[in-house]
Structure 1
Amino acid sequence: MATKKATNKSSNPTISVSLRIDPKTKYLIDLLARDQKRTITGVIEWAIERAAAQVQFDQNSGTYYNDMIDELWSTDEATRLTALALHKPSLLDYDQMRIWETVKASPDLWRSGYMPSPNLPIHAHALEVGIIRRYWDSIVEHVDQFRHSPAVKPFVLTSEQKKEAGISDSNFDDFPDELPF
């Protein structure tokens, strides 16, 4: 007697996707599924994996999408957006671009003394990914608050947030008013 094996859905979550395809393509998928003894989902996943191995992610380095997916994918939204923005910002959608532009314009989200230049490549090591992850919800809320602004408004950590993150609040208040030289 066969028993049904219990599966833990949280260990391997899936996402439902609704597709609109023409009847001929649907029939082709059905035929492939029958021939390969796969489910329709299996055929679609197989086709996407084959495409990812054939389409170049970066023409200069010769990397393909399947080479990059482990670097780009994270269950953490902040990490995922940051990775995509650093590797191929042209793939960001409008909302992601607003968040990334805010991150780039926010000195509190970069290592001390570094601010990205619009004309130069960004140094990923200078980005405070841990701080972005910690305050992700606040950053997204900030971007949403200023969504109608024609210019990007930098995200600024409060003094309390800076203290939590271990960032010194270098506003020079602790310096004497007159220096002895």
Structure 2
Amino acid sequence: MPRPKKSEQPSVNVSLRIDPKIKFAIELLAREQKRSITGVIEWAVMQALQGQIVRTPSGNEITMLELMDLTWSPDEAERVTMLGIFSPHTLNHEETCIWTVIRSSGIFLRGENPDARGMATTYVPKMNFIKTVWPLLKARGKTLADWPNIYQTTILTEGDLIAEFGEDIMKEADEYFK
């Protein structure tokens, strides 16, 4: 998927502290490359992303740039779910807890490509369903993140979804399962 042009992308402000010598180096690069300081930093980050290799749970090696392209979404539910699938070790604590709820509930992912033991080796998210119940998933993940015992878990069951969203949610869910 091609990246949008700079003018089409919203930007965010980032405030950071850096060593004065590094700031000077960035300014030198900006002068040499005829770029703004922001342009140099963006270029350097893209270079670093291209050079960093990560291993996915399925054993494939991809660059961080490829990981970014696979997982970036302005939608938090999509972003956390895709990071959970492709690079769970990069999730922060709260995101890991949300991913644990998604993974352990058994109703948000469809397992595919079973191994010799019959265990799924890849998972396809039921993304529309995940987005529909995202506030509840996020709340359960936060509860799990705040618990002092890391061995406790809380899953979402069909009963939880019905209690939160009404009887029709499971009828709607059937559409997502197709």
CA distance in 2, matches of 1:68, 1:144: 25
CA distance in 2, matches of 1:35, 1:109: 50
Cross-structure match for 2:9: 12
Matches within 5 A, 1:56-75: 56-58=53-55, 61-75=60-74
Matched to 2:97, the amino acid is R
Cross-structure match for 2:131: 133
Residue 69 of structure 1 deviates from its aligned partner by: 2.1
Shifted more, 142-151 versus 14-23: the winner is 142-151
CA distance in 1, matches of 2:173, 2:155: 18
CA distance in 2, matches of 1:34, 1:48: 18
CA distance in 2, matches of 1:20, 1:10: 27
CA distance in 1, matches of 2:109, 2:60: 27
Deviations 1:69-123 (A, max 9, x none): 22111111111111111111111110001101111121332459xxxxxxx5653
Does 2:27 match 1:26?
no
CA distance in 1, matches of 2:18, 2:120: 40
Check the 8 A contact 2:97/2:142 in 1, yes or no: no
Any unmatched runs of 5+ in structure 1? Answer: 1-8, 113-119, 168-181
Report the identity percentage.
33
- Secondary structure of the structure 2 residue equivalent to 1:124: strand
Check the 8 A contact 2:73/2:79 in 1, yes or no: yes
4+ residue runs over 4 A deviation: none
Any unmatched runs of 5+ in structure 2? Answer: 1-5, 112-118
Cross-structure match for 2:156: 155
Superposition RMSD in Å: 2.5
- The aligned length equals 151
Cross-structure match for 1:77: 76
Does 2:44 match 1:47?
yes
Q: 1:55 to 1:61 in 2, by over 3 A?
A: same
User: What is the TM-score when the length of structure 1 is the normalising length?
Assistant: 0.73
- Secondary structure of the structure 1 residue equivalent to 2:172: helix
Residue 25 of structure 1 deviates from its aligned partner by: 0.4
